[in-house]
Amino acid sequence: MKILRIYLIKEISIMFFFSLLIFTFSMVAGNLIKLADLVINKNVDIMLVGKIFLFLIPFLLSYTIPMSTLSATLIVFGRMSSDNEITAMRAHGINLYRLSMPLIIAGVVLSLFSIILHNKILPESHFASRKIVKDIGVKNPAAYLESGTFIKNFNNYIIYIQGIDGNKLKGIRIYQIQEDRPTRTIIAKKGEFIILEHQNALKLKLMDGTSDEPNPKNPINFYKLNFKTYYITLHIDKNLSPGEYLSKKPKEMNFREIKDEIRKLGKHHIDTPALIAEFHRKISISFASLVFIIMGISLGIFVRRGEKTVQFAIALAVIVAYYLLMAGGMAISLHTGRAIALWMYMPNIILAAVGIILLKKTVES
């Protein structure tokens, strides 16, 4: 059993680093084109571009490590199954569950490393990279607008924008903080921003929305205004020092920062589904390596095909399915604001359950 375990770990380790090299190089190649454009066409300092590239590596590893884990496990077990090595082991009374235990432990170790990656390394590198890119292009107040984050750079307002395309906005939430009365909430399906020259301010044109303001005498009751078009002028906070204009997005916060942000916004009765979803997403996706090892073992034995191209294709299909489930869970969480944790862990639950069922069916058949 010990010799077989060493053999199995060696084979999977070699294939893991091979897959990691392929996946990481593929993703780096696509980003190198964009980085080269900054140097060649936009005359950006190559040292700044080099820093952006280095900060990009943790982001790529957060995807390529689980992908490589799945590919390596699936390919090795697929080859062993097609060569009847698995059949021979079972004929000699070798327990496949016990044989696979070192791989499960390796999956746990990789997952714990991924928690550190998603909680500490990735948020800091992503924010540092975005800060460099933003500093390169900041020339007007529109640069203060960022999608997917709570923007606090404007006097007495906290703003959340779901998407930005040019000067077009969608999914807009504006919270007006008022000292003498409860927070006023403005929601709009879409809008656009207008730059006010030499005024250090922005005008937002909001469309198809509502404005809710609690009755100061009876906060349970709300005044509700439906509008087709609504204009609001935002003045930049003059107390901001250079470099403070950039707010962290949820994915750029660690666990403690997300909890602190939820608590601070909660004092103003602001819902934070995006922050809650990101908190659980970081944990969920950190354990993708463990889930993929379970899937790789079961699929490798179940499919019984040894060709690397077939195994890579199956691995890619599983990876796409996983991230589609994650994206779907995120979309549902943000839309409903309910059962957020469940939706974020659902991809792990589904794939792990499928993997365990397949493995049990294969081993006991």
Per-residue pLDDT band at 14 (split at 50, 70, 90)? very high
Span 58-86, pLDDT tens digits: 989 999 999 999 999 988 888 888 877 77
Average pLDDT of the residues of the chain: 83
How much is the average pLDDT of 344-357?
A: 93
pLDDT of residue 6: 84
State whether 176 and 299 are in the same domain: no
State whether 301 and 325 are in the same domain: yes
Q: Is the model's pLDDT at 342 over the cut of 50?
A: yes
Give yes or no for a contact between 268 and 175, defined as CB atoms under 8 angstroms apart. Answer: yes
Q: Is residue 298 part of a domain?
A: yes
d(C-alpha 147, C-alpha 145), whole Å: 7
Q: Is the model's pLDDT at 204 over the cut of 60?
A: yes
**Residue closest to 167 by CA, chosen among 203, 217, 120:** 203
Span 83-94, pLDDT tens digits: 777 778 877 777
**Residue closest to 65 by CA, chosen among 253, 286, 316, 330:** 286
State whether 6 and 130 are in the same domain: yes
Q: Is the model's pLDDT at 239 over the cut of 60?
A: no
Buried b (16+ CB within 10 A) or exposed e, 72-86: bbbbbbbbbbbeeeb
Per-residue pLDDT band at 241 (split at 50, 70, 90)? very low
State whether 210 and 292 are in the same domain: no
Phi, psi (degrees; rounded to nearest 5) at 336: -95, -30
How much is the average pLDDT of 11-22?
A: 91
Q: Is residue 265 part of a domain?
A: no
Give the domain-ending residue among 226, 244, 262: 244
Q: Is the model's pLDDT at 201 over the cut of 80?
A: no
DSSP 32-97: HHHHHHHHHTS---HHHHHHHHHHHHHHHHHHHHHHHHHHHHHHHHHHHHHTTHHHHHHHTT--HH
Per-residue pLDDT band at 101 (split at 50, 70, 90)? confident
d(C-alpha 271, C-alpha 263), whole Å: 10
Number of domains in the chain: 2
Q: Is residue 258 part of a domain?
A: no
Q: Is residue 257 part of a domain?
A: no
The tokens describing 177, both together, are 């903080």
State whether 172 and 125 are in the same domain: no
d(C-alpha 122, C-alpha 255), whole Å: 12
State whether 109 and 193 are in the same domain: no
Domain hosting residue 144, numbered range: 140-244
d(C-alpha 283, C-alpha 149), whole Å: 20
State whether 10 and 128 are in the same domain: yes
State whether 238 and 210 are in the same domain: yes
State whether 166 and 92 are in the same domain: no
pLDDT of residue 193: 85
State whether 130 and 18 are in the same domain: yes
Q: Is residue 256 part of a domain?
A: no
The tokens describing 241, both together, are 């020092």
**Residue closest to 65 by CA, chosen among 293, 321, 277:** 293
Q: Is the model's pLDDT at 359 over the cut of 90?
A: no
Give yes or no for a contact between 78 and 311, defined as CB atoms under 8 angstroms apart. Answer: yes
State whether 35 and 113 are in the same domain: yes
Q: Is residue 253 part of a domain?
A: no
How much is the average pLDDT of 317-326?
A: 93
Per-residue pLDDT band at 139 (split at 50, 70, 90)? very low
Classify 321 as helix, strand or coil.
helix
State whether 83 and 68 are in the same domain: yes
Q: Is residue 272 part of a domain?
A: no
